Amino acid sequence: MAYDYDVNKLALYVSDDGGSELTFHAIYQASLFAKDWLPFCRKYKVEQPAPQGYFSAKNVATSGGSQSFRRDSTIWLSGLLIGQVKFEEMQNRIKRVEKSKRVPDEIWREHKGFREWDSKVNPRDQQTILEGCAEDSAKLVLL
């Protein structure tokens, strides 16, 4: 995740030759997580914004960032714990879908990219999904 990347440029481009709704689901879940995680990284100047590495650091409380705030502050700690819980929840949702090989109906209703998905079409003929095309939002392209 490039947390300092210009949001007016292409932020994520995935070419999925298999046309898998599971790939789209994983990207969708990661984008939901990133909406909370990346602002936390910016605010606290986290030097390693990749959550897997950040949360697995031996001492998360000292793993980079600005010295202009106290790492032991309750605000930072609560944000960190919420981020870690959301990251684990995201991983679990992706793993459940991967295991069942099916995106749950409630997720299909959440995002228009799923509603536009046609499971009867050959995956190689699946239409391109382009999301977040508003001027002030990041772009996601799934081919």
Annotated binding-site positions = 17
Per-residue exposure over 105-119, b if at least 16 CB sit within 10 Å of its own CB, e if not: eebbeebebbeebee
How many CB atoms neighbour CB 52 within 10 A? Answer: 9
Cβ 32 vs Cβ 140: under 8 Å: no
Angstrom CA distances, 56 to 99, 120, 125, 132, stand at 24, 41, 40, 31
3-state secondary structure at position 13: strand
Token representation of residue 3: 């947390």
Q: DSSP letter for 128, please.
A: P
Q: From the annotation, which residues make up the binding site for UDP-alpha-D-glucose?
A: 17
Q: DSSP letter for 126, please.
A: P
